Amino acid sequence: MATLPSSHCCHTYSQPLPPSSSSSSVSYLPVYSSVHGRLRRVSISSIPRRFVSAKLSLQNAVGLQDGPAAPAVNPIDNEAPFEKLKDGLLSAPSSKESKDTAVFNVNESESTVSITVVGASGDLAKKKIFPALFALFYEDCLPKHFTIYGYARSKMTDAELRDMVSKTLTCRIDKRENCGEKMDQFLQRCFYHSGQYDSQDHFAELDKKLKEHEAGRVPNRLFYLSIPPNIFIDAVCCASSSASSGNGWTRVIVEKPFGRDSESSATLTSALKQYLEEDQIFRIDHYLGKELVENLSVLRFSNLIFEPLWSRQYIRNVQFIFSEDFGTEGRGGYFDNYGIIRDIMQNHLLQILALFAMETPVSLDAEDIRNEKVLIVLAWCQVKVLRSMRPLQLENVVTGQYKSHVRGGITYPAYTDDKTVPKDSLTPTFAAAALFIDNARWDGVPFLMKAGKALHNKRAEIRVQFRHVPGNLYRSIGTDLDRATNELVIRVQPDEAIVLKINNKVPGLGMRLDRSNLNLHYAARYSKEIPDAYERLLLDAIEGERRLFIRSDELDAAWALFTPLLKEIEEKKVIPEYYPYGSRGPVGAHYLAARYKVRWGDVDVEV
């Protein structure tokens, strides 16, 4: 970890600080090839590990050649190669260490991973983190040696933690007969330690317990901060000083919100970097772990039919739609401090937009992908320098707040009916915005975002509406041109699907057109259930894969885009448009789209 500053944030310092350790990211996988008859090792660090066959043996690795056949290599023990490779990967050195060692030795001592869920008694830990860890264990994705510790202020025994966790676990993957046995095995790896988040002594006690389970193996440690952001720094300070790994890697997963504007976000980042290196910080946005978001780049970059169309020449507009059919319901106090723009648009939707609009990255390497995303977002933030992007204007934004509504004899509450929300609150529960990227690829294309609570349905999707066919031959038969345009729908949730809407002739002697769907419905196409986003992201964090985590400069750029708009809304006390609970949202959102000759794709949704 980073060198600790002279001023301490933790309480009761009674023990010396352990040696700092760098973060770990697996940078090299040993692959042998022959050049001029000599063996050399080739780095394939640019390929994420999960894209390399999991059962790659060292003997097979030797077979990857770029010259004459390589001679046999006897010193390498090839017995049980997968287990050795798996443990070796998880104990690989950090990027900083890699520069000194060039490659890691697969014959090093076995490693172990200790996962500490800080805030283990909270809803997120119970509903998402522990079930995701069990799913990974169930699918044999966790390393051979691992331990899970819950850490929170609540007094609890190991048995009580296991009982609490067991109530949230399900064998949802394929309901194998050994589910109960796997649950028991998983729960036996779960332990609990009670402590304050700002106590170095309590984290030092945790450190002793972790060492007992690590049993002399190379210790790798992952801390998941499932706690309010106001105590992030205290927990990180104490974990880094008292419970970091001495000779393995230490990583910290940080949940949003990452501040509430540019200034607070920069302060948080600066404070975290007092105790952690950037590559130890994994800022999680669970939407980036969604299967269809992960598939977005595959759809575009591996299908020749889409890549040439991915520009202003063929795309009329792109819509990012997020809706929930419930209100704040118990989270009013938290939500009122942030609002829908900070909670959904500034992170989830903007990150997806950046993935959608980015240029082709050099490789699948995490840094190459994140560099392209940053360039898209930075184009918005550096308007005065690059003159490439119009800043977000208040006139291109519509805000709303849901009000009480009676439907079917049931009265649904207004946002301000929540006892934790001030009666005069102007916090938006709905927002729609039009954004523009003025570069060669996207000049003039409206990127429309819409997010809201207490709407008529629950969905998250990307809608790509293509331009009209020039000189359409079938205009004369009364075709609705708006409805006749092609549309690509990527439904992120629920009921994941990719749908391409096309025009075709209805069978018969006459000439009548119909709009049909070419539908990749995941539930129908694939029998295996789709993993939860937290499963993917937790596995990535354990493996050191950073593609789907947010880098500090990405975060800075995103806040630089939205902070001026948010300040203007708050300073002018903009009154949101009120919409009934369970409706389609404010009428103003439709006027906003119409200004750019666009109709929201979910208005008369067939798909």
Q: Which numeric CATH code is attached to 291-530+550-596?
A: 3.30.360.10
Judged against a pLDDT cut of 70, whether residue 481 lies above it is answered with no
Report the pLDDT value the prediction gives residue 433, as an integer from 0 to 100: 96
Judged against a pLDDT cut of 80, whether residue 385 lies above it is answered with no
- Residue indicated by tokens 């389609």: 584
Report the pLDDT value the prediction gives residue 605, as an integer from 0 to 100: 59
Reported as type and span, the H/E element at residue 431 is strand 430-435
98-102, 121-125, 395-399, range with greatest mean pLDDT: 395-399
Judged against a pLDDT cut of 90, whether residue 400 lies above it is answered with yes
* Region of poorest pLDDT, from 268-277, 330-339, 394-403, 486-495: 330-339
Q: Tell me the per-residue pLDDT of 109-159, one tens digit each, with 9 for 90 and over.
A: 688 999 999 999 888 999 999 999 998 998 888 988 999 999 999 998 999
Report the pLDDT value the prediction gives residue 388, as an integer from 0 to 100: 45
Report the percent of the chain where pLDDT is more than 70.
73
What are 146's two structure tokens?
């691992």
Report the pLDDT value the prediction gives residue 363, as an integer from 0 to 100: 54
Residue among 444, 423, 422, 421 at smallest CA distance from 434: 444
CA distances from 360 to 173, 319, 411 (A): 34, 21, 50
Per-position DSSP letters for 110-175, written without gaps between them: PEEEEEEEETTTSHHIIIIIHHHHHHHHHTT-S-SSEEEEEEESS---HHHHHHHHHTT---TTT-
Contacts of residues 383-388 at CB distance under 8 Å and 24 or more positions apart, as own/partner, are: 388/437, 388/438, 388/439
Helix%, strand%, coil% for the chain, nearest 5: 35, 20, 45
Cβ burial of 300 (10 Å; 0-12, 13-18, 19+) is middle
CA distances from 554 to 254, 272, 378 (A): 15, 16, 8
Q: What's the whole-number average pLDDT of the chain? A: 77
What are 317's two structure tokens?
């507009």
Which has more pLDDT, 502 or 82? 502
Residue among 539, 479, 546 at smallest CA distance from 514: 479
Cα separation of 33 and 69, whole Å? Answer: 8
Judged against a pLDDT cut of 60, whether residue 92 lies above it is answered with no
Q: Tell me the per-residue pLDDT of 413-463, one tens digit each, with 9 for 90 and over.
A: 999 998 889 999 999 999 999 999 888 888 899 999 999 999 999 999 999
Query: Within 10 Å of residue 270's Cβ, how many Cβ atoms?
Result: 11
What are 479's two structure tokens?
């075709």
Q: Which numeric CATH code is attached to 111-255?
A: 3.40.50.720
Q: Tell me the per-residue pLDDT of 146-162, one tens digit each, with 9 for 90 and over.
A: 999 999 999 989 999 99
Our separate counts of H helices and E strands in the chain read 21, 19
Q: Which of 193, 202, 286, 348 is catalytic?
A: 348
Which has more pLDDT, 182 or 34? 182
Report the pLDDT value the prediction gives residue 57, as an integer from 0 to 100: 37
Using DSSP bridges, classify how beta strands 218-225 and 111-118 pair: parallel, antiparallel or unpaired.
Answer: parallel
Q: Where are the domains of the chain?
A: 111-255, 291-530+550-596
Cα separation of 248 and 23, whole Å? Answer: 8
Report the pLDDT value the prediction gives residue 102, as an integer from 0 to 100: 35
Query: Within 10 Å of residue 323's Cβ, how many Cβ atoms?
Result: 21
348: annotated active-site residue: yes
